[in-house]
Every structure is written in C-alpha cells, then in structure tokens.
A and B are shown apart, each in its own frame.
Chain A
Amino acid sequence: SQQGEEDPQALSIQEGENATMNCSYKTSINNLQWYRQNSGRGLVHLILIRSNEREKHSGRLRVTLDTSKKSSSLLITASRAADTASYFCAYILTGGGNKLTFGTGTQLKVEL
C-alpha cells in the first residue's frame, strides 16, 4: 500500500499550546497537501507544499517537507478549541496522474 503513515494517531493538548503532526510516505511525490476534517464532514484544504520547497507558512500553520526522509510535518501554533478535528496529509505519487493518496490521519483534540 502507498498509504502514508501519520503520527501521532491522536493528540490531546490544551488551548494555546502548539500541535505537531507528522506524515511519512513511501515513494516520490509531486507535492504534499494537508487537509482538515471536522467530524462527519468533508475535507478542507489547508496548505500545499511542493516537492522543491522545504517550508511553508499560512497563518498559524507551518508545514515542512523533507523529501530525503520522505516526511512532512504540520505545526499548528497557539491552538484553539476550534482546531479540534482530524488532519490528513495527502499527496500525488510521481506518475500517479491526479489521484490523491491520503495518510492515516491524526485526531487532534484541543481542550479549553
């Protein structure tokens, strides 16, 4: 399976703390994206990082990509209760057309 692994599977933090989740994949990719999913809902695109980029920021989000280690991380700073959701990395394999492959996901819970 080409499905990426994410860790941790679940993360519980206090509001105001930072949350870091990691994604590892198995083969060459064109770009890597992070999505958020609230319980029982669809996915919302958060950020995309290309294979020739190492770091990208968007608001409270910071994404890194290390293609040599085939891994990416998503950092959410100053977390809020509203950040409680599942987070998935997703990527297109080189030569994979336009099919997204999703990681296993991290369930984040931010407590007041």
Chain B
Amino acid sequence: GAVVSQHPSWVICKSGTSVKIECRSLDFQATTMFWYRQFPKQSLMLMATSNEGSKATYEQGVEKDKFLINHASLTLSTLTVTSAHPEDSSFYICSATMQGKSYGYTFGSGTRLTVV
C-alpha cells in the first residue's frame, strides 16, 4: 500500500530558529501534498496545498513567509517553520495523494514541534 514517511517525528528547537519537516511518498508519485496543523485534542486544520513544481496554496490566515513549503519532486515536500516561536509548537501532519484520486490520501505519522 501507499506509504508516506514524515521526518522527524519530533523536534525541539529554540525560539528564533528554523525547523524543516520532510514528507516523502515512498512507493508512489504524489502530485499533491497537504500540510496540516493539529493542536492537542483538536482536529486537523489544513495549512497549505502543494503541487509538484508549483507554488503552494495557503489557507486563509496561514503566513506563507513563516511556513515555507517546497514540493520540488513528486516524492518530496518540505515544510520549514521559520523564526519559530513557542506558539508554533504543535503537531504537523502531511498527506499525499495522486493526481485524479479524490479519495486516496495517505498520511505521514506527524511531527511534534516544541519551541522553547
């Protein structure tokens, strides 16, 4: 079955530093990847949609300069949290889908970011 690898699973960083999270589709070509943010005991909120080779589309209220998304290949998307602050601490999850499939979503295992 389709597998998405997300790395790292957890990271602690100091305020002001940047953190990069990777999302890889291991056995399929992900034409579209999605990045979500989840606070404790809450649902997933879509941050942005990235299509391979094009700029990401951000949801309303998400700062594109703070959350940099790159989808340079059909198997890799990265989310960089720039100048992280404690309020950026959250659980970030990616998912990937193939072109034309409106139901085949595979999720990464998530990254727990803690900014101290």
Contacts and interface: CB of A to CB of B under 8 A. Distances in A.
Contacts of B45: 102
B44 A42 contact: no
Nearest to B31: A98
SS class of chain B's interface: helix, strand, loop or mixed? strand
B56 interface: no
Given A40-B91, A103-B43, A105-B43, A31 B110 contact: no
> Does more than half of chain A's interface fall in helix, strand or loop, or is it mixed?
strand
A78 interface: no
Interface residues of B, number: 25
Interface in B34-64: 34, 41-46, 49
A8 to B, nearest CB: 13
A60 interface: no
Interface residues of A, number: 24
A44 B43 contact: no
A3 B42 CA distance: 12
B104 to A, nearest CB: 8
A41 B46 CA distance: 17
Contacts of B108: 42
B110 A42 contact: yes
Contacts of B25: none
B34 A100 contact: yes
A45 B109 CA distance: 13
A107 B43 contact: no
B103 A42 contact: no
A13 interface: no
Interface of A: 3, 30-31, 33, 35, 40-45, 48, 88, 92, 97-105, 107
